[in-house]
Structure 1
Amino acid sequence: MEFFDNPVVPGFSPDPSVCRVGRDYYLATSSFEYAPGVPLWHSRDLMNWRRIGHALDRPSQLSFPDTLLSSEGVYAPTLRHHDGRFWLITTVVGGAGNILVTADSPEGPWSDPLPLALPGIDPDLAWDEDGVCWCLFSAASGIRAARIDPATGAVLGESVPVWSGSGLQYPEGPHLYRVGEWWYLLLSEGGTERGHALSVARARSPLGPYEPCPANPVLSHRSTDRPVQNTGHGDLIQAHDGSWWMVLLGTRPRGYTPQYHGLGRETFLTPVTWEDGWPLPRPVEERPPAGSLTPSPFPPEPARDDFDSVRLAPCWVSVRQHPATGARLDERPGHLVLHARGESLDRPGTVFVGRRQESPDCSARTLVDAGTGRAGLAVRLDEAHHYEVEYDAGTVRVRARIGPLATTVAERSLGPGNGHPGRITLRLDIRTTDVLPPMVTTVGQDFSGDALGARAGGPDTVVLGHETADGRFEALASLDGRYLTTEVAGGFTGRVIGMYVTRGSAAFDWFELTGS
């Protein structure tokens, strides 16, 4: 029997939406304050996905001010294929509101956005047999529906309430499907934390009245010991072989209670069966059977980027600005050159280019020529929660920002034999084994759990330092990973690991992110 690995899209990739064209599948996920916006993925089996780009990949489509808060930005896209064209509708919170873009190919180019004069978030698109386009969205009163003209973005009449779920808080993420003689409305409720759940109702018309499934919620991992939690915000898809599946978000929390997830909400896949006319997804497993699908994997994404291309690979993102705003590949061959815009990762506006952490255990390395600038390698959740190791005028420094506290944890002045001035390999390792107790600062400090009076309860440990000329890792500090998690920081995103500059300019020769 064939099995596949969940999550199918690891790392910060929430609110998945999927569509099928023949034997090809396409997926979109939320991106929040990161640009480019709305990552897009391609698969031939629903289990193996490769990145193909972004739907909002240029400033004319998506432009954030520095005043945009973390965890605002692009929420919950819906991706559909209709009448030979791809349609993507999403919400830009703190920006343009609900918008619609289209493309002939998922690789783009995608159109400039059409604004929709509709409130709420999490918009959905569905077409009936008469060609009428329905937009469903989440409002304060529950799920509402309106007719729209997708060619112009015009709203045709008032929106009307259709269903508010089974009574749990925050009914959201609606998706509407026509299956046989019924219209099925799938939504999430219970909040996107441990109480997250999926419920479904059906009606003979897109506007209802809706009959709820007797088994609601049809999927929730709340109050269980399953390793995957926060399950919700799903989208149904019928595979080319006739089987039914659901993509949905979930988390992999670790550590002592309440447990913590640093990678953010990830995209999982689970089979769906139909019973008495209702779609019932199975509980989410980390190694589920592939069923009747035949795995069709892609070559793995390169762990290392030598910056030899004319443009950045689609794995790279920046905070509130497109990478091209402060990152250049044409100034120094084979290098990514960053020019400082802000003086600290503690404030919006700093030039940062990173990749999502996709594996719980991983190592990130980069060779930087900082010259007289100040540049480094960071693991970031938001402006108030990040760790970094940086090079600054002959000194390697580890900094930590945890809520209102910002401190230099450790630093070392590099003497003769420790590498060329201004050119150094910085490194950070994240490990889930041998997790250290909290409050550990510098490596080599004498500590024990008994002395600290606190258990090693975080999900992982972040070790930061640099490499010597002969390749040895000189760790300067080990820090508790729980402070870079949603359970501590709040919000909707996950960790992103990358390069930054906070004074002058810096040239990065290569970047490598490997997972265990």
Structure 2
Amino acid sequence: MSRTAVSGAEHPIVSGFHPDPTICRVGEDYYLAHSSFEYFPGAPIFHSRDLVHWKQIGNILDRRGQFLRADGRPSGGIYGSTLRHREGRFYFVTTNVGDADSGQTIVTAEDPAGPWSDPIFIPQAVGIDPDICWDDEGGLLLTWTGRVAGTDLHGMLQGRVDLKTGEFTGEPYKVWQGTGRLDFPEAPHLYKIGDYWYLMIAEGGTERGHSVTIARAERPEGPYESCPANPVFSHRSMPSRTVQNTGHADLVETASGEWAAVYLAVRPAGFTPSYHVLGRETFLAGVDWVDGWPVFDEHRYDFTPDATSFEDDFTADALHPRWVSPSSEPEAIASPDTDGGLRLRAPGDGSPGLLCTRVEDLRWEAEAEFAGSGRFEVRIDDRHRYGLVFEDGAVRAQARIGGVSADLGSAEVAAGSVVLRIAAVDCEAETMTAYGPDDIVLALVDGGDVTELARLDGRYLSTEVAAGFTGRVLGVGAAGEVSRLRSFRYAATESAPTE
């Protein structure tokens, strides 16, 4: 499939469920990290030399000591974060909302591909979306949204932290609380640019009212002056835009001395109120400074999107970093099989028991080849999923939507191995109000023959229906005592690049 140039205003630089982007630059190299919620390993990290083409180099939180499983609930786990570099070392701060005792979590590394250090917890800083910055004396400033444990102090807070102990070196204090015109001030990022300290935040929630606002002060403590043009970036009340929910931005100075911003947004489709299925994705905008304030230019970057299609026969020494597990660990679910591929097993830890990869395209097709038995599904969470189960000489199509589960079509198979296919295709709506973002087709592939077992409305696997902060993933897992995954293939089927 040919590659086509796109506008950065309409296409993400990192597609699929990669929300809450945070960026830093070291020389000519850019690094980008994301929240990952209940999926482990957590906090995927990418590298680029030009801001528009990105390659995943790992996951920052790849040991359970860094990312405690805790309650493991959907849309729990790793929330918004900040990635920074200082004096030869990378710093990453985030929140594990499933672990009430850890507060904020900081890990460090010399190489962004890892290994990352054991965590430093800041238990007094309760809340979400932490940022780190250094003051003029080299003190570490933590800014976050939440409260201070054991006190009545809450809101947008800041304090100086001893990185050796995880304790505050003075009393935390309130900083700018946002414009006061929008709900949910959160996701702070603090920068020293020129003579001013700038505090950029998200307001309006991470839905259609999402916005970027900013204020500045002569000291990081404030007092802060709100930008007269706030919000400086938003698509709120612009339903004709193909990209919505823009916000949660992070600034970076480019190697050439210009400025840019990464931000999250979604691509909804279907009849009003429309539905987004890939989760919140990462977009790129140019930034100009006018009269001391940032002006976003979302149309500055045109680029050819990165390839998303891939095949995996699982013969490499280690799993590709794209493979993650909800509320469990990949090694608890999959291990190399002596006959090739992976042996799959149910971990017995109460998790869904799936090895997952993010869906990154609006139209796609994926195939999983199993021997013995196996299951293959596309999901938002355990209550919103469509899939295929191969066991006892048959393949069954299944669906769960909220509290309702259903067995759909089935087919007998004579061979001990099968290829299961799931695809997102154009919606075939009988009425306008049934027009959704896509249809999901569940099928059995036997040589050149394809047996369609079910065709389902894609709206039910959307964030607007399922709620939460994640997006669609494809998951493979065990269905019997002998479940082997021989290979996996994912291909974009729209005008998207292929490898």
Tell me whether the two structures share a fold, i.e. TM-score over 0.5: yes
Which aligned pairs between 1:470-509 and structure 2 lie closer than 5 A? 470-509=447-486
Candidates 127, 138, 161, aligned match of 1:131: 138
- CA distance in structure 2 between the aligned counterparts of 1:213 and 1:409, rounded to whole angstroms: 56
Contact 2:73/2:327 (8 A) holds in 1: no
The counterpart of 1:360, out of the listed 334, 355, 362, is: 362
Aligned partner of residue 377 in structure 1, secondary structure: strand
Going from structure 1 to structure 2, the CA distance change for 1:243 and 1:207 (only over 3 Å counts) comes to same
For the residues of structure 2 that align with 1:455 and 1:197, how far apart are their CA atoms? Answer: 29
Cα separation, 2, equivalents of 1:490 and 1:132: 39
Matches of 1:205 and 1:33, distance apart in 2: 37
The answer to whether structure 1 residue 457 and structure 2 residue 457 are counterparts is: no
Equivalent residue in structure 2 for 1:159, among 168, 172, 179? 172
CA contact (8 A) 1:198 1:220 kept: yes
Q: 1:14 aligns with which of 14, 19, 31?
A: 19
SS in 2 for 1:170: coil
Q: CA deviation at 1:481?
A: 0.5
CA–CA separation in structure 2 for the residues paired with 1:503 and 1:72: 29
Contact kept in structure 2, 1:63 and 1:320, CA below 8 Å: no
Note if contact 2:144-2:157 (Cα within 8 Å) is conserved in structure 1: yes
Partner of 1:202: 216
Q: Are residue 306 (structure 1) and residue 313 (structure 2) matched?
A: yes
Q: Secondary structure at the match of 1:46?
A: coil
Distance 1:34 1:102 in 2: 20
- Of residues 100-109 and 504-513 in structure 1, the stretch that sits farther from structure 2 once superposed is 504-513
Counterpart in the other structure of 2:393: 394
Amino acid at match of 1:357: V
Q: 2:458 & 2:326 partners in 1: Cα distance? A: 21
1:51 corresponds, among 30, 52, 56, to: 56
Equivalent residues in 2 for 1:307-326, closer than 5 Å: 307-326=314-333
Report the 3-state secondary structure (helix = DSSP H, G, I; strand = E; otherwise coil) of the residue aligned with 1:74. Answer: coil
State how 1:6-405 maps to structure 2 within 5 Å.
Answer: 6-65=11-70, 67-95=71-99, 96-117=102-123, 118-139=125-146, 141-167=154-180, 168-224=182-238, 225-282=240-297, 284=298, 288-290=300-302, 300=307, 303-329=310-336, 331-341=337-347, 348-369=350-371, 371=372, 373=373, 375-405=374-404
Task: Say if 1:115 and 1:153, in contact at 8 Å, map to a contact too.
Answer: yes
Q: AA paired with 1:205?
A: R
The Cα of 1:341 is off from its aligned counterpart by 3.2
State the one-letter code of the partner of 2:88.
G
Q: Which amino acid aligns with 2:46?
A: W
Partner of 2:421: 427
Let me know the Cα RMSD of the aligned residues.
Answer: 1.8
Classify 1:202/1:102 alpha carbon distance in 2 versus 1 (closer, same or farther; 3 Å).
Answer: same
Between the two proteins, the alignment pairs up a number of residues equal to 476
Letter in 1 for 2:344: L
Match of 2:65, SS?
coil
Task: Summarize deviations over 1:200-224 as a string: whole Å, max 9, x none.
Answer: 0000000000000000011110110
Deviation readout 1:466-485 (Å, 9 max, x if unpaired): 101x2322111100001011
Structure 2: how far apart are the matches of 1:3 and 1:262? Answer: 20
| Counterpart contact for 1:350–1:501, Cα < 8 Å | no
**Who is 1:443 aligned against?**
none
Match of 1:446 in 2: none
State the alpha-carbon separation in 1 of the partners of residues 14 and 316 from structure 2: 25
CA–CA distance in 2 between the matches of 1:233 and 1:77?
11
One-letter identity of the residue aligned with 2:341:
H
Cα separation, 2, equivalents of 1:76 and 1:471: 45
Any stretches of 5+ residues in structure 2 without a counterpart? Answer: 148-153, 494-499
In the TM superposition, structure 1's runs of 4+ consecutive aligned residues that sit over 6 Å from their partners are 295-298
* Aligned-residue offset at 1:83: 1.4
**1:302 and 1:258, CA in 2 relative to 1: closer, same or farther beyond 3 A?**
closer
| AA partner of residue 175 (structure 2) | V
Quick check: 146-155 or 229-238, which moved more? 146-155
Tell me the distance in 1 between the aligned counterparts of 2:360 and 2:435.
21
Equivalent pair of 1:257/1:457 in contact (CA under 8 Å): no
1:296 deviates by 10
Q: Check 1:302–1:222 CA distance in 2 against 1; reply closer, same or farther (3 A cut).
A: closer
Q: Structure 1 pair 82/308, CA: closer, same or farther in 2 (3 Å)?
A: same
Question: Are residues 392 and 333 of structure 1, via their aligned partners in 2, closer, same or farther at CA, if it must alter by over 3 Å?
Answer: closer
Q: Tell me how far apart the structure 2 counterparts of residues 273 and 494 of structure 1 sit (CA, whole Å).
A: 32
**Partner of residue 444, structure 1:** none
Report the AA paired with residue 30 of structure 2: Y
- In structure 1, stretches of 5+ residues that fail to align are 438-448
What's the secondary structure of 1:93's corresponding residue?
Answer: coil
Of residues 18-27 and 67-76 in structure 1, the stretch that sits farther from structure 2 once superposed is: 67-76
| Cα shift at 1:334 | 2.6
Whether the 8 Å CA contact 2:33–2:43 is kept in 1: the answer is yes
Equivalent residues of 1:351, 1:502 under 8 A apart:
no
- Report if the CA contact (8 A) 1:197-1:232 is conserved: yes
- Tell me how far 1:93 sits from its aligned partner: 0.4
In 2, Cα distance between equivalents of 1:460 and 1:267:
21
Between the aligned residues of both structures, percent identity stands at 44
